[in-house]
Amino acid sequence: MEFKDSASYSDLAQGKIKHIDFHIVVDFSTRMLDIEATYELQGPVQGSLYLDSYKVDLKQARTNGRELEWEFDTGDDILGERLHLKGLDGDSTFTLMFRTSPEARALQWLDATQTAGGTHPFLYSQCQAIHARSIFPCQDSPSVRFTYSAEVEVPQGVVAAMAAEQVAVQEGSGHGYASIFSFKMPQPIPSYLFALAVGNLVFREFGPRTGVYAEPDVIEAASWEFAENEIKMTEAEKLLGPYLWGRYDLLVLPPSFPYGGMENPRLTFLTSTSILGTRGQTSLITHELAHAWTGNLVTNATWQDFWLNEGWTTYAESRITEVLEGKDVEDLRAAFSEKQLIGVMERVGMDSPHTCLKLPGDEKDADSFTTIIPYYKGCFFLKECEYAVGRKHFDAFIQKYMASFHFQSLTTEAFLDFLKAELPGAFEKVNVHKWVYEPGLPEEWHRPQSHLYDDVQEVLNAYEQGTRPTKQQAQDWHRFQIFSFLQGLPRKIPVQDCQYFEDILELEKRNDAGYYSFFYATCIASGYESVLPSVEQFMGKIGRMLYILPIVRAMIETDWSRGYVRPLFERVRDRHHRITVYAIEGLLKKAELL
């Protein structure tokens, strides 16, 4: 099936890419990838083929022994440039030779000083949502799937890892380059799941299907933190069906990675800030692992259907967490999530189309959809469907859903058709239209109930009455109780209370960037001016947008800090991935600070 995708220039009626063969030379000195890519199409193409690209420097295009004409014939800031290949004459293959730009949106090139070890440079990619086009021209739409193979040439001393199967390593060959790593991805993937990383990486195995890549300095800690992944896979398979991607490894990235995790197939990319020394953030892995089904196997057809990826994954994450960490913990997380969801909906406007599950059709900037709304609202909607028909029927539905659509992309409408046919009871009892196509939240639904959350609300109530909690009271709190406490504090509190809470919650010792995200936002709103150097240090190190954007927002919204935010951003911008820079610039522009 073909889908209209407002975030892509491609015209799928012309034909579709089926396979790509890459030869990639990684040049740290120029911060460019030199690529020769041979594309195979699903069938012969006559005439034109449009591909998405972003600042790609194309040198040559050829097919079946002849040169192909081409031009970049239209373009804009967000979508990049449309590459128009001309004069295809029943050809089903062509080769492009090109270089990526040092400004390629998907790539972050890090100096040695920005890595854990400080000795080798590092490169990694982040293609979701529409950044694959800055690495290679493609039909950059999640409705197109292709297989690929790749040879990656890297300088001596560094290792290449891809979200694919490693098939060979050739040390010491190539034109002045030390090693060639060869990969293949035999399962068809959408372009946003293409992923590459190069750095001083070592590998440690957890079990027959799982392991972790990390810099030598963090491999020990990472191996301990995520050692339970094999068990996690078994639980995920019980819920979602067989794992179809072979291995499931992790790759720990430097802390400037813009996300907590990215579900690249076979190899989840992960922020190093998820290593807490407590196994306290393994639900992040549960989330990325669940994407191996909900997202990677069954994929949103367009970014307007993003909730099909993230809402389903958040639902699966909650089911697996319930088994692994218990119902109390899952209820707590759900109650916290509901409060977060309402907070974000109020910020964007309860009647904004961005609070609908199906997102507005004319939006090109797919990254702008990345709020937590599709995650939590999507999850709560699926829970409503589960309540309506009972867990037994819903679980059978999940397995059938995966089996029916694996390696396919689908729209919200196709999903709803399937739901109606397979679970008519859900359609009768749940106001599906309201959940999916209307803004905000329905008046009546099974809102999360959690006694662990309520305990924290009592402490917060007492605080509002003038009694501060003691260290003992907070000592045994679950991570999500600490979150709930920080989340529930009044927006503005006395500065000495900020200091007091930092102490009794042992924020420094726990070293959890998630806590500091809430904490700094409160400090700023409360006028705790001397916290600014610590905020700058945090912003210069942590890239996870979920954590740093709330701090930027707090600085913008608070009178005393408003003037500091842009200079602070200018000082740290070089340490961040372009995706993060772009997001912060967006906030500054909206506030007329840029």
Q: Say how many residues touch ligand BES, by CB under 6 A.
A: 17
Residue pair 25/150 in contact (Cβ under 8 Å)? The answer is no
Separation in Å, CA 65 to CA 14, 85, 377: 22, 15, 53
Residue type, 159: V
The distance of closest approach from Cβ of residue 173 to ligand BES in the complex, given in angstroms and rounded to an integer, is 35
Pick what 504 binds: ligand BES, Zn ion, none; C-beta below 5 to 8 Å, kind-dependent.
none
370 binds ligand BES (CB under 6 A): yes
Q: Give me the 175-214 binding string for ligand BES, x by CB under 6 A, dash otherwise.
A: ----------------------------------------
Instruction: Please say if 570 is a catalytic residue.
Output: no
* 3-class secondary structure, 168: strand
The two structure tokens encoding residue 338: 């509901």
282 binds ligand BES (CB under 6 A): no
Q: What is the DSSP string of 324-344?
A: HH-HHHHHHHHHHHHHHHHHH
Q: Which is nearer to ligand BES, 310 or 502 (CB)?
A: 310
Of 28-36, 221-229, 255-263, 484-492, the segment contacting ligand BES by CB under 6 A is: 255-263
* 3-class secondary structure, 423: coil
CA 333 to chain centre: 19
The distance of closest approach from Cβ of residue 193 to ligand BES in the complex, given in angstroms and rounded to an integer, is 10
Number of CB atoms found within 10 A of residue 594's CB = 14
Residue 342 CB-density burial (10 A; 0-12 exposed, 13-18 middle, 19+ buried) = middle
Q: Which is nearer to Zn ion, 92 or 340 (CB)?
A: 340
Separation in Å, CA 436 to CA 135, 412, 447: 34, 9, 17
Q: Which is nearer to Zn ion, 310 or 502 (CB)?
A: 310
The distance of closest approach from Cβ of residue 497 to Zn ion in the complex, given in angstroms and rounded to an integer, is 35
Q: Which is nearer to ligand BES, 137 or 265 (CB)?
A: 265
Query: Contact residues for Zn ion (CB under 5 A)?
Result: 310, 313
The distance of closest approach from Cβ of residue 463 to ligand BES in the complex, given in angstroms and rounded to an integer, is 28
In the region spanning residues 323 to 342, those forming contacts with ligand BES, defined by CB under 6 A, are none
In the region spanning residues 112 to 171, those forming contacts with ligand BES, defined by CB under 6 A, are 128-129
Strand partners, 410: 300
Considering the candidates 39, 124, 213, 375, report the single residue annotated as catalytic.
375
Considering the candidates 81, 153, 263, 288, report the single residue annotated as catalytic.
288
Classify residue 229 by its DSSP letter: H
439 binds ligand BES (CB under 6 A): no
Q: What is the DSSP string of 445-512?
A: S-----HHHHHHHHHHHHHHTT-PPPHHHHHT--HHHHHHHHHHS-SS--HHHHHHHHHHTTHHHHT-
Instruction: Please say if 375 is a catalytic residue.
Output: yes
The distance of closest approach from Cβ of residue 546 to ligand BES in the complex, given in angstroms and rounded to an integer, is 4
Of 229-237, 256-264, 383-391, 470-478, the segment contacting ligand BES by CB under 6 A is: 256-264
Please give the biggest Cα pair distance in the chain: 80
Separation in Å, CA 264 to CA 201, 288, 295, 404: 17, 8, 10, 22
Q: Which residue is nearest to ligand BES (CB)?
A: 259
The distance of closest approach from Cβ of residue 526 to ligand BES in the complex, given in angstroms and rounded to an integer, is 26
Which position among 110, 284, 356, 554 is part of the footprint of ligand BES (CB under 6 A)?
Answer: 284
The two structure tokens encoding residue 536: 């700058």
Residues annotated catalytic, as ranges = 288, 375
Q: Which residues bind ligand BES (CB under 6 A)?
A: 128-129, 259-263, 284, 287-288, 291, 310, 367, 370, 375, 544, 546
